[in-house]
Structures are given as structure tokens and as C-alpha cells.
Amino acid sequence: MLELIEQKKMKRSEADEELSQMQTKLIDLANAVKAAKIPVIITIDGWAAAGKGSQIAKLIKYMDPRFYNVEPIRIPNEQEKRKPWQHRYWMKLPKQGEFLILDGSWFSDTVKSYMHGTINKEQYKRRIEDINVMERQLHADGYLIIKLFLHITQKEQLKRLKALEADEFTRWRVDDHDFENNSHYDKRFKRFDKLLEATNTEVVPWNIIPANEKLTAQYEIMRIVTEAIEGAVAAKEKGEEYIMPAQFKPHSDASNYSRPYKFNIVKTKKLSEIDMNKSLTEEQYRRKLKKYQNRLFELQNICYQRKIPVVIAYEGWDAGGKGGNIKRVASALDPRGYEVKPIAAPEPSELARHYLWRFWKRLENDGHFTIFDRTWYGRVMVEPIEKITPEKRAFMAYLEINEFEHQLTDWGAVVIKFWINIDKDEQYRRFKERENTPSKQWKITDEDWRNREKWDEYEEAVNRMIKLTSTDFAPWTVIEGNDKKYARIKALKTICDRLEERLGI
């Protein structure tokens, strides 16, 4: 893509006038973005000394500082290294109506990691997929992502490095490394070019800015940003999905990278096919509980030492016994190594971001267990059924969730998902018991009875969910829950089995 770019030079008088018009327009557009609740991400990558910092300063000069945030992307810090690589980008997501401006991005992060040898070729390829997946997911959720690459020639870069070195105030910004890189400009050119192509998707295309001339670059950035925002605001007003006008189409050889993940789905049973009569005697239960809890404790220790993250997702019918089940898992573990995350209705700051954000946010460090009591699967169950999210949008989540769990697996996580199943009669019995037991009354509400009326609708949703998201890396385990003892042992045993499989022991 880079070789197609011509370094242009505008006349100052011409540029100045147009710029001042666009700056005025940008103020209005930023207000329109706020009103239309569009979250905007602008990423600025490019060659060293291409002028990223000063271009950002010019861009934001006419924006309200309460509504943007500029974040430099450097080498990940220690905390960030203990999370999936894209975690830090998710954490920085702007709210609807706000701007995030990244100085550097997942693009330069990935190029540098690969060229410095921090990640190998295989990981590099996966990151390209990750980037395209992340951008597509955000785009589908209404994020406007504007990607800018500041392109300068080898000669221009050398000139700028020398100028920086000559000035005592800027000398600290340059070292031998930079000059060394400049002498290998061609090699970097090819690397940049390949990654630009591989991440130049139709939904979130690249904008290559000829930046030898600073004024021209400034003009181009302004033009692209204002046009993109105008387009997004207009589309939102019309209720359309907005796709940025692509400057470039991906080369055919890049299509390998930009296709979405294809996942292997394992065969599953429908809930109606499950044998719900399984149970354990009190004596069997005690013996097995001890056995698997001890085993789990040992396995946790090994996971901790090997820094393997474990993510356990609990879903199930109301009164299915999730709480008691989680308790038996938790009480086996070293309490410093896990955290249980109860998922309730989202807060305003969560609703103002991509729906997966609040789950990314809750991930514990590698080596730790994160146990979710209800999960991201609310997106494809309660949300469409209760009309919180339109069906069309909610159903995109099957792919997005598989991608999310695949990214967790790539991070090294063992992802274990439980559906605690009880039948309708058993639920009725437990609801009644709760109503009749003073200490349990707080656990039963009118909402539970209302949800129960939609049993069939939920059952269909659960069947579909299990069918579409039982991937080979993150399969569902349906737990026969009419007998709580049986259910607890099955959960513990499943966790132990999955960990042993992962640890190869």
C-alpha cells in the first residue's frame, strides 16, 4: 500500500484557509458526536519522526478536552503483560460520544513486537486476526475507528532525525537505534506494508497520510477525520450502519488474514435429551468431594506456577444451584488465587461501551482463576428475549463470543463453561421452598416467576447457544442439576479433567 502514496505539497495559503474551515467544523462535529452518542477511536501510527505527536496536538486543538483522551501506546507494563495482549486496548475504550486518540496502536505494537522478537511468526499471524476481529467487533457495536498512518520517505526521515539530534532540547528523543533503523528503511517498509495490507479491511480501512510535508499531512488528517465523522453522524441519524469510504482495498494475498476465525464446533445434546435422573448418595458425595477438592487445589498450584489463567463461566436456570456449586469449587482453592465475579445488570459506564468490555475488565491476571456467576451469554439469552438488545445485533454475539473465548485461549487460558440444568418441576419445587423458608425468601422475586413463564423460549435459546458456541477450545458442559450433590461433583471433576488435559498430567 505504501508504494502507491505520492508525497504531495499544498500551497500554504490554500491549506490555511481550508484548515481553518475544517477546524471550525470539527468543533461542531465533536458536539454532534456527543449528541449522537458515537464512540470514536482515532489511531495514529507511522514512521519514527513522522510527526505523530505534533499532528495529534493540532487535531485536538479545537476539541473539548472533556470529551477526548490521548493515550500513548508503549511497551506493555508488567500488569498488562499478565493479561491478553489486546486487553489494554479494551480497557481504554471510549464511552459513547467520546474520543480516544491513540499515539501508536495495536498496529505498531504488533509490528514492533514481531521485529524485536517478542512474538514469533505464528503469534504475529494470530495478532493480525485479533486486530481484524477487534476492529470488526467494535465497528459492529457502533464505534467509529479512524486509522491513520503517517508516511515519510527514507530521505525525509534521515533529515528529521538529524534535525532532532542537532537540537539540544530534542536530542534525547533520538539514538543510534533510530539511525540504524533508517538505514534499514526498506526492510521496515516491507513489514509495514504487509501489515497495513493485512489489516486494511472494508469495515475499517487504513488511511495513509503522505507526511513529508507537515502542512499537507495536517490537512489530510483533518479532511479524513472530519469526513469520517460527518459520515458516521449522518448514517446514525438515518439509522444506517456506517462504513468508512475505503481508500484502499485489501490485496488478495491479505485475505488470508482478514477472514474471521473459523471454529470447530463439537457436537452437543439438546436439553431435552439429557438424562436428568443422575444422583449421588451422601456417602459417595463426601468421598468424591474430598477427592476432587484436594485434586483441584493441587492443580491450582501448578496453574499458578505456570501462569496459566483459568476462566470458569457459570450459567443455568434460576434456582439451578449455581451459588452452592461455585462455593464448592471456591472452597477448594487458595483464596488468593481466584475471584468470583457476580454479573448483574450493567451500569451506565458499561452500557456506554461494547458489551464485552465489562467482561474484559473483570479478567484476573494469568495464573489466577476468574469465576463468572452469569456471563457474556446474557447477550444471547436474556437480552433478545427481554428485548433489551435487538435480535439481529444480539445474534452477532455467537461469533463475537466464540472469538472472545478463542482470544482467551490464545492468551493461554483454560475456558470452562457450565450450564446447570434442572427440569421445570424441580425449579417449581425450589421456588416454593424458597418462598416458604424465611432465610431464603430474598432469593426469590416476582421476576423469577415471570422468567419461568418463558421457560420454552429460554430453553430454545439455551439449546441454540450451546449448539453454536460449543467450540473445541471452549466447549459447554451441561450439568444435570436436579441432584445438587451430583452437580457439584460433576463441576469439580470437569474442572480437574480440563486442567489435567491442559497441563498434560
Q: Does 366 bind a second copy (CB under 8 A)?
A: no
Identify the residue among 37, 57, 175, 450 touching a second copy (CB under 8 A): 57
How many chain residues are in contact with a second copy, going by CB under 8 A? 39
In this structure, are residues 214 and 54 in contact, taking their beta carbons and an 8 Å threshold? yes
Identify the residue among 119, 308, 371, 381 touching a second copy (CB under 8 A): 371
The C-alpha cell of 351 is what? 452500557
**CB of 175 vs a second copy, minimal distance in Å:** 17
Residue number with CB closer to a second copy (229 or 399): 229
Distance CA 87, CA 134 (A): 11
Identify the residue among 6, 13, 77, 259 touching a second copy (CB under 8 A): 77
Beta carbons within 10 angstroms of residue 180's beta carbon: 9
Q: Does 65 bind a second copy (CB under 8 A)?
A: yes
Q: Where are the alpha helices (DSSP H) in 306-356?
A: 322-330, 348-351
**CB of 342 vs a second copy, minimal distance in Å:** 4
Pick the closest to residue 94 from 64, 77, 70 (CA basis): 70
Q: Does 438 bind a second copy (CB under 8 A)?
A: no
Backbone angles phi, psi at 301, to 5 degrees: -60, -45
Backbone angles phi, psi at 309, to 5 degrees: -80, 145
Q: Does 239 bind a second copy (CB under 8 A)?
A: no
Amino acid identity at 260? P
Span near a second copy by CB under 8 A; candidates 62-70, 146-154, 156-164, 189-197: 62-70
Identify the residue among 9, 12, 37, 72 touching a second copy (CB under 8 A): 72
Distance CA 129, CA 107 (A): 12
Residue number with CB closer to a second copy (249 or 440): 440
Residue number with CB closer to a second copy (257 or 376): 376
**CB of 20 vs a second copy, minimal distance in Å:** 16
**CB of 53 vs a second copy, minimal distance in Å:** 7
The order of strands in the sheet holding 40-46 is 68-72, 99-103, 40-46, 144-151, 206-210
Chain-centre distance of CA 162, in angstroms? 40
Instruction: Map residues 315-344 to x or -, x wherever contact with a second copy holds by CB under 8 A.
Output: --------x--xx--xx--xxx-xxx-x--
Span near a second copy by CB under 8 A; candidates 114-122, 286-294, 345-353, 394-402: 345-353
Residue number with CB closer to a second copy (174 or 244): 174
Q: In sequence order, what DSSP letters do the residues of 214-246 get, joined into one string? A: HHHHHHHHHHHHHHHHHHHHHHHHHTPPP-PPP
Contacts of 481 (CB under 8 A, 6+ apart): 316, 317, 320, 321, 420, 421, 422, 426, 487
Q: What is the contact surface with a second copy in residues (CB under 8 A)?
A: 28, 31, 35, 53, 56-57, 60-61, 64-66, 69-72, 77-79, 101, 103, 323, 326-327, 330-331, 334-336, 338-340, 342, 347-349, 371, 373, 439, 442
